[in-house]
């Protein structure tokens, strides 16, 4: 973090080719005077780096719809995106091997479920502390390996929780919706019938008094 001048970061990352590391952290410190933006091709040098975990932290605006963000890290098992000006998920490479993905303090308006559903190996997804994240209109679909979703500490307001948001996600066991705004519950939990943990702490709920939601 903050190891290179902004203009030299891409070139410097190319010098890491051939390395094998357990974790690589790229970005700047939050108190850095000049915030580095994400530019197309910034991470191209990482295509030749073998790593288990990749952390991208404290970058500003993302240009070109972040199309190259995952190009060279699609085979990394764990990716953490922290404190970024990221408004939407980049194009997901075919055959991505990402199993754990965290998006913390990003700039989403809606839960980007459609793009995230392209991470077919995904087991754990955390999208937390996004102050602009208020809607959940897209649907997760076809994530047969997904077991944990943490959407806590956002500002989500949505209805018809919780079956319609998850299609063909049969192994979902842990769903955290705590510290959000307003969620309306229905009695439909058919798509999440294997759910073992459901957290609504400090979230205003509507509906459970009218439906036998937790009868089972």
**What confidence tens digit (pLDDT) does each residue in 39-92 have?**
677 788 899 999 999 999 987 766 655 567 888 998 899 999 999 888 888 889
In a domain, 30, yes or no: yes
In a domain, 200, yes or no: yes
Domain shared by 216 and 124, yes or no: yes
Distance CA 165, CA 114 (A): 11
Nearest to 129 by CA among 104, 148, 111, 107: 104
CB atoms within 10 A of CB 201: 10
* Residue 61, token pair as written in the block: 């605006």
Domain shared by 172 and 133, yes or no: yes
**What confidence tens digit (pLDDT) does each residue in 109-166 have?**
999 999 999 999 999 999 999 999 999 999 999 999 999 999 999 999 999 898 999 9
How high is the pLDDT of residue 120? Answer: 96
| For range 17-37, the mean pLDDT | 75
Structural domain boundaries, residue 199: 108-216
Evaluate if residue 34 carries a pLDDT over 50.
no
Nearest to 155 by CA among 175, 127, 126, 189: 127
Domains identified in the chain, total number: 2
Distance CA 128, CA 89 (A): 15
**What confidence tens digit (pLDDT) does each residue in 189-206 have?**
889 989 999 999 999 988
Please indicate, yes or no, whether the overall pTM of this predicted structure exceeds 0.95. no
How high is the pLDDT of residue 131? Answer: 93
Domain shared by 72 and 113, yes or no: no
Distance CA 11, CA 189 (A): 50
How high is the pLDDT of residue 149? Answer: 98
């Amino acid at each position: 973090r903050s190891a290179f001048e902004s203009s030299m970061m891409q070139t410097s990352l190319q010098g890491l080719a051939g390395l094998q590391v357990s974790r690589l952290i790229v970005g700047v410190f939050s108190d850095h005077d000049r915030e580095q933006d994400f530019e197309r091709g910034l991470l191209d040098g990482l295509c030749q780096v073998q790593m288990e975990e990749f952390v991208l932290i404290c970058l500003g605006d993302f240009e070109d719809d972040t199309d190259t963000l995952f190009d060279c890290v699609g085979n990394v098992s764990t990716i953490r995106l922290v404190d970024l000006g990221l408004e939407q998920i980049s194009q997901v490479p075919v055959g991505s091997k990402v199993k754990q993905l965290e998006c913390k303090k990003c700039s989403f308006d809606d839960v980007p479920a459609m793009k995230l559903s392209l991470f077919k190996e995904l087991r754990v997804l955390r999208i937390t502390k996004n102050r602009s994240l208020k809607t959940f209109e897209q649907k997760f679909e076809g994530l047969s390996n997904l077991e944990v979703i943490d959407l806590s500490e956002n500002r989500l307001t949505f209805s018809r929780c919780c079956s319609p948001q998850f299609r063909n996600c049969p192994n979902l066991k842990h769903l955290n919706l705590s510290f959000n705004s307003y969620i309306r519950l229905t009695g439909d939990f058919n798509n999440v019938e294997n759910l073992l943990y459901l957290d609504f702490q400090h979230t205003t709920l509507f509906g459970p008094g009218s439906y036998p939601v937790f009868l089972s």
